[in-house]
């Protein structure tokens, strides 16, 4: 399969952008994104937000600073034109103005942006163009009934015409195909009976847009130009930074259109009744989707040509450039079958969860919970419940003895910090590694039982602290320190008769800790007291010292020496106490560190139990959710069976039904679908689809795609140039994957009255990338625009005044003509009218009642021609020179009914003398006289009058 032809698509306005978006989806589905590029233009920023990624977005805008001047200068704007809205609000002149305005960006900016994007895509797309075989395709998509797309498409057509010409001139081996697609509302209602469906302004807009299209498609015979009014001002005209190629596109301040700007222009009808009522939505597709897909698939089909589309086009073949397209598609619901199998596979997985996986997990979790609670109640149970505990014990005992010491060395050389450091290391070794990256923050909660079991901090700390507690209880370890402390305290308490010293608690002090504090206070006070008085020792002092020491101590030395000796003994007792108490407190702190870490181990154990409980709850909830999901999947599977086994019949899209017995087959799995069902032919061969339905359906949907049956393209050649009726084209394209060629070739009847093309190199259309569908695309060209019954009905409605009630924001339906320069005085004046009046129709002046007895018949007619007729119109039947009968209709005269008009103004608007002469001679009607007054008042006074 070859690559599609490079295609650049411009979507303008809401309708154009929606069609472009659908095209982008079609391109993406076929994997051809690299060959397509998109450009979106709108006056509404919201619509621009919906375009495909990478699309150039152009929002047309205006500048308030220039608005007043532009309103007075641009001939297609009126004082009543509403320019300030966020969009064009369905006003075609506003759409044109926002493209040709002096806003934040100018017309030249827009032109350059479009030119550069097209050239950039053409130059950078990875495609080797072959002369006469390939073309670079450009499409303009828009509506005819709206404001932005409808109002800008003639000007954009001129721009694209110049760009295409430039590419062709500079590249001899490249053809450029320019196609337009316009959507228009069908007119199948009687305006005298019902209101028009949809937005009423669609209809005057469509009439004027079709008129513009007729001019564009006739440019070969009668050249056009479009004035660019913004170039008449300093901003937006002949700027130094304007690309030379853009500037060369202008003749003065206009863009000339010297040839038909389109190779083909495709008109697509929209039934507004189906849009507004929603009844156009069928079993498989909404009505709007039908329209958008019809356009998108037709454009993509043209890109699949293995020849230059320009060489195929109406311009090359000499057929009428106006055409329409049709599209229909038959497809296997392959993706839906895959979805169906995915649901079955999911249901089977959920069933396994409910009956096997989750019950097994719950059993393991509950067993784990029981074991953890047993360990919590009796830590010694670790040895029975866990493996390798003896290895832990051996490892930890060796580490403790080497790093902390054993027996007396443990309590003599180690500290609380040493114990904490060793236990920290053991806990760290047992802590599971935290996951890296994005999941790190979620690592607090274990995902499954293995995560919980991997965290052995609690168990290892319990084993480690049990060994440490055992080592501390060795006789020459903590007990030796504690016994020495107790003996020291008790002995000193007795030695200094502390039980009798009430100042220090006396006999009320029962605990050893309290006695230690009392002794410390006693020693501190006494030593300070003795040191202070020792230098002035006398017998009294000696007596005091005697009282401080046991009664059995003899005073054999001199008093001073004896006092000093006793003071030294007091200090020695204090130091012995402090030394014993310090060792005791250090050992107690070490033991407390062990107990604290053992408490942490139990807390960690509680956390593990809590995590297990959470997992149990989660698995039970998962089981219930799986049960509910199984019920929902069973319902969906049955519903999907019903849908897949039913015929999906729509106007554009037909879906083959899948046999129910094949869907009921338990062996139908996603893997089997992916391995065995790779085309429509596979579905037929393996009996999933009835072959008769395929062969019958192909002809049925071929008929659905016949564009020449479209109501919007009905023609009536009465009163038109019938030559164009002969320059017609009818083609039906069958697009299919090469695996499905048998059905497309053998099942399609020969089309009567047209050409049938099929995929394959011999027919210059590439095979489709989609093996599950067969598409039908039809192209029908004939013209002219004036032969369209749509156009003729709208023209008749305009002539009969039936478009006037549909003007919406316009004061006159003629103001929908956004390019009045192309039209006659009647259209141009619609933009100049400043006021409108409805007045009674004047009765015809009777020459015989003009009372001028002194004038001959000839002189009377001359008088009437010169001033009398104007005087009659001004004063009415009450004119003093006019004989008024009792039975005559009263005519008050325009002096009383036309405000702001003077008699002089009326005289300047008087009919041409020749017309007056012919009326006086009976060769012209009174209605001709009145019409002349109306036209002259419109042109001179910008006053439009209508008669009651």
Q: What is the pLDDT of residue 638?
A: 95
Based on C-alpha coordinates, what's the Rg of the chain? 52
Q: Do 831 and 811 contact (CB within 8 A), yes or no?
A: no
Using CA atoms, how far apart are residues 21 and 54, in angstroms rounded to an integer? 12
Return the pLDDT at 547. Answer: 52
Inter-residue contact 766 to 734 (CB < 8 Å)? no
pLDDT at res. 205: 95
- Across 297-306, average pLDDT: 93
Top pLDDT among 946 and 445 is at 946
In sequence order, the 6+-apart residues with CB closer than 8 A to the CB of 513 are: none
Q: What is the pLDDT of residue 750?
A: 59
Asked whether the predicted pLDDT for residue 442 surpasses 60, the reply is no
Of residues 826 and 673, more confidence is placed in: 673
Give the max Cα distance, the chain.
185
650 vs 938, higher pLDDT: 938
Q: Tokens in use for 55?
A: 């699309």
For 710, residues 6+ apart whose C-beta sits below 8 A from its C-beta are: 268, 269, 324, 326, 780
**Where is 757: in which H helix or E strand?**
strand 755-758
* Predicted local confidence at residue 210, as pLDDT: 97
The answer to whether residue 555 scores a pLDDT higher than 60 is: no
Q: At what angle do helices 457-472 and 358-377 cross, to 10 degrees?
A: 20
Q: Which of the 8 DSSP states describes residue 822?
A: G
pLDDT of residue 852: 87
pLDDT per residue as tens digits for the range 771-796: 999 999 999 999 899 999 999 999 99
Structure tokens at 490: 């008790």
Is the pLDDT at 139 greater than 50? The verdict is yes
* Spatial contact of 901 and 894, defined as CB atoms under 8 Å apart: yes
How many C-beta neighbours within 10 Å does residue 755 have? 11
The residue among 545, 544, 491 whose CA lies nearest residue 519 is 491
326 closest CA partner among 373, 291, 358, 352? 291
Q: In this predicted structure, what is the pLDDT of residue 244?
A: 65
Instruction: Pick 7-332+786-795's CATH classification: 3.40.50.300, 3.40.50.2300, 3.40.50.1440, 3.40.630.30.
Output: 3.40.50.1440
Over residues 858-898, the pLDDT tens digits come to 999 999 999 999 999 999 888 888 888 777 788 888 988 88
**Residue 540's pLDDT band (cuts 50, 70, 90):** low
Residue 239 three-state SS: coil
Average pLDDT, the chain: 88
Cα separation of the two ends of the chain: 69
Dihedral sign, CA of 681, 687, 689, 695? Answer: positive
pLDDT in tens, 163-206: 999 998 888 788 999 999 999 999 988 888 788 888 999 999 99
**What digits encode the pLDDT tens for the residues 579-619?**
999 999 999 999 999 999 999 999 999 999 999 999 999 99
**pTM passes above 0.85:** no
Q: What average pLDDT does the segment 328-344 reach? A: 94
> CA–CA separation, 414 vs 435, rounded Å?
36
CA–CA distance, 295 with 124 (Å, rounded to integer): 26
**Rounded Cα gap, residues 35 and 8, in angstroms:** 9
Please, are residues 119 and 113 in contact by the beta-carbon 8 Å criterion? Answer: no
User: What letter would DSSP give residue 829?
Assistant: H
The conformation of residue 503, written as its DSSP 8-state character, comes to G
* Alpha-carbon dihedral sign for residues 175, 38, 15, 107: negative
Burial string for 697-727 (b: 16+ CB within 10 Å, else e) reads bbeebbebbbbbebebbbbeeeebeeebeeb
At 307-320, the pLDDT tens digits run 899 999 998 888 88
Q: Domain map of the chain by residue range?
A: 7-332+786-795, 334-644, 834-947
Residue 268 · residue 183 · CB < 8 Å: yes
**Mean pLDDT of the region 922-932:** 93
CA distance readout (Å), 187 to 196, 713, 795 = 8, 11, 11
404-425 tens-digit pLDDT:
999 999 999 999 999 999 999 9
Give tens-digit pLDDT for 81-138: 888 777 888 999 999 999 998 877 888 889 999 999 999 999 998 888 877 778 999 9
- Provide the 10 A C-beta neighbour count for residue 491: 13
Q: What is the pLDDT of residue 832?
A: 81
Quickly state the pLDDT bin for 818 (edges 50, 70, 90).
Answer: very high
């Amino acid at each position: 399969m070859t690559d599609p032809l490079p295609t650049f698509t411009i979507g303008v306005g809401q309708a154009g952008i929606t069609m472009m978006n659908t095209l982008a989806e079609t391109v993406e589905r076929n994997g051809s994104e690299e060959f397509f590029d998109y450009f979106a233009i709108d006056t509404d920023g919201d619509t621009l937000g919906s375009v495909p990624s990478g699309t150039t977005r152009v929002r047309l805008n205006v500048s308030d600073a220039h608005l007043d001047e532009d309103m007075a200068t641009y001939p297609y704007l009126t004082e009543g034109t509403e320019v300030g809205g966020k969009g064009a609000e369905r006003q075609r002149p506003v759409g044109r103005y926002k493209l040709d305005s002096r806003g934040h960006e100018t017309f030249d900016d827009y032109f350059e942006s479009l030119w550069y994007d097209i050239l950039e895509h053409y130059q950078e797309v990875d495609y080797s163009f072959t002369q006469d075989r390939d073309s670079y395709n450009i499409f303009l998509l828009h509506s005819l009934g709206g404001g932005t797309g409808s109002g800008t498409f003639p000007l954009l057509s001129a721009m694209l015409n110049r760009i295409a010409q430039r590419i062709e001139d500079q590249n001899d081996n490249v053809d450029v195909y320019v196609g337009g697609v316009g959507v228009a509302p069908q007119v199948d209602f009687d305006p005298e009976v019902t209101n028009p469906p949809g937005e009423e302004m669609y209809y005057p807009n469509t009439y004027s847009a079709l008129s513009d299209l007729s001019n564009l498609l006739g440019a070969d015979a009668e050249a056009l130009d479009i004035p660019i009014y913004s170039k008449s001002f300093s901003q937006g005209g002949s700027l130094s930074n304007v690309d030379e190629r853009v500037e060369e596109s202008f003749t003065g301040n206009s863009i000339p259109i010297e040839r038909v700007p389109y190779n083909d222009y495709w008109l697509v009808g929209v039934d507004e009744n189906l849009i507004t009522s929603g009844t156009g939505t069928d079993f498989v597709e909404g009505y709007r989707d039908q329209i958008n897909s019809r356009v998108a698939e037709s454009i993509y089909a043209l890109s699949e040509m293995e020849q230059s589309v320009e060489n195929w086009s109406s311009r090359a073949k000499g057929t009428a450039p106006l055409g329409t397209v049709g599209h229909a598609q038959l497809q296997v619901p392959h993706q839906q079958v895959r979805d169906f199998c995915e649901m079955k596979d999911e249901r089977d997985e959920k069933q396994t969860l409910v009956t096997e996986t989750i019950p097994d997990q719950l059993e393991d979790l509950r067993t784990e919970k029981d074991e953890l609670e047993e360990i919590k109640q009796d830590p010694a149970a670790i040895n029975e419940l866990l493996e390798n505990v003896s290895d832990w014990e051996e490892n930890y005992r060796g580490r403790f003895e080497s790093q902390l010491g054993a027996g007396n060395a443990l309590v003599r050389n180690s500290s609380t910090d040493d114990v904490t450091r060793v236990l920290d290391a053991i806990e760290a070794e047992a802590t599971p590694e935290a996951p890296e990256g994005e999941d790190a923050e979620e690592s607090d909660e274990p995902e499954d039982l293995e995560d919980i079991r991997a965290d052995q901090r609690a168990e290892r700390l319990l084993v480690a602290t049990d060994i440490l507690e055992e080592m501390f209880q060795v006789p020459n370890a903590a007990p030796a320190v504690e016994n020495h402390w107790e003996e020291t305290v008790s002995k000193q308490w007795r030695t200094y008769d502390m039980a009798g010293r009430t100042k220090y608690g006396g006999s009320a002090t029962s605990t050893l800790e309290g006695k230690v504090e009392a002794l410390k206070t006693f020693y501190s006070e006494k030593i300070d007291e003795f040191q202070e008085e020792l230098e002035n020792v006398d017998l009294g002092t000696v007596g005091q010292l005697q009282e401080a020491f046991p009664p059995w101590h003899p005073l054999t030395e001199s008093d001073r020496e004896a006092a000093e000796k006793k003071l030294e003994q007091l200090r020695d007792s204090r130091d012995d106490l402090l030394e014993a108490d310090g060792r005791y407190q250090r050992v107690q702190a070490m033991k407390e560190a062990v107990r604290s870490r053992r408490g942490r181990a139990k807390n960690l154990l509680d956390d593990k139990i809590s995590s297990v409980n959470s997992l149990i709850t989660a698995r039970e909830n998962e089981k219930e959710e799986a049960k509910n999901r199984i019920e929902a999947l069973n319902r969906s599977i049955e519903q999907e069976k019903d849908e897949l086994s039913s015929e999906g019949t729509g106007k554009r899209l037909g879906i083959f039904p899948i046999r129910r017995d094949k869907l009921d087959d338990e062996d139908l799995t996603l893997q089997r679908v992916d391995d065995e069902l790779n085309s429509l032919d596979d579905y037929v061969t393996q009996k999933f689809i009835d072959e008769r339905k395929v062969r019958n359906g192909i002809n049925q949907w071929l008929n659905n795609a016949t564009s020449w049956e479209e109501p919007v393209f009905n023609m009536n050649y009465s009163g038109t140039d019938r030559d164009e009726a002969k320059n017609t084209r009818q083609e039906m394209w069958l697009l299919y994957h090469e695996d499905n060629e048998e059905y497309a070739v053998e099942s399609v009847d020969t089309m009567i009255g047209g050409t049938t093309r099929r995929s394959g190199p011999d027919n210059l259309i590439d095979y489709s990338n989609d093996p599950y569908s067969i598409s039908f695309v039809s192209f029908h060209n004939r013209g002219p625009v004036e032969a369209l019954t749509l156009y003729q009905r709208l023209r008749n409605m305009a002539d009969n005044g039936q478009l006037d009630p549909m003007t919406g924001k316009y004061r006159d339906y003629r103001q929908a003509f956004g390019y009045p320069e192309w039209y006659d005085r009647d259209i141009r004046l619609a933009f100049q009218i400043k006021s409108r009046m409805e007045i009674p129709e004047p009765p015809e002046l009777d020459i015989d009642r003009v009372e001028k007895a002194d004038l001959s018949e000839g002189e009377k007619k001359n008088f009437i021609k010169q001033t009398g007729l104007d005087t009659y119109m001004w004063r009415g039947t009450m004119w003093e020179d006019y004989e008024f009968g009792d039975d005559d209709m009263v005519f008050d005269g325009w002096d009383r009914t036309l405000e702001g008009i003077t008699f002089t103004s009326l005289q300047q608007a008087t009919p041409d003398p020749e017309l007056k002469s012919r009326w006086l001679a009976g060769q012209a009607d009174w209605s001709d006289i009145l019409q002349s007054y109306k036209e002259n008042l419109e042109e001179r006074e910008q006053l439009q009058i209508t008669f009651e």
